[in-house]
Amino acid sequence: MPVLGLSHFNLRASRPLLDKLKDFYVDVVGLRPGFRPPFQRFGYWLYAGNLDVLHLTEADSSERQVVDVLTTLDHVALKCAGRATYEAALSQHGVHYKVASVPQTQQIQLFFDDPAGNGVELVFADSDA
């Protein structure tokens, strides 16, 4: 029973924050909105190429959310190209980010938080300067 790959990740938030997250992941990260089946709850599916990689779902106000920072998702990493363009977009939108090199892998990482405080990592080939 092999795992074939990552399908998507889902973020749940109130409607106002959900709209901010959608705008952030479209305008800053470069995903694009696309088809989403007609679920009962409001939301968005955001795509990288032909893959719906991020699902945004409106939280029900009656849901109790318990967060334990020791066990929550730390960040999601997206493989990207065009590092200079991403750095310019992050700066233009006032998003503070950190740059790191991965030893022995020829990869550069950009780390930042989305409007809900979720960690995002963009991964580039070291040659993508």
Alpha helix segments (H runs only) across the chain: 15-27, 83-92
10 Å CB burial of residue 33 (0-12, 13-18, 19+) is middle
List, in order of start, the domains of the chain with CATH numbers.
9-60+73-125 (3.10.180.10)
Mapped onto helix, strand or coil, the DSSP state of residue 70 is: coil
pLDDT, tens only, 1-12 = 776 678 899 998
* 122 conformational bin, left if phi > 0, alpha if psi -120 to 50, beta if neither: beta
Q: Rounded to the nearest 10 degrees, how much is the dihedral formed by the CA atoms of 117, 55, 33, 25?
A: 20
Q: What is the pLDDT of residues 76-98, one digit of tens each?
A: 999 999 999 999 999 999 999 99
pLDDT mean over 94-121 = 93
Instruction: Please tell me which residue, 25 or 63, carries the higher pLDDT value.
Output: 25
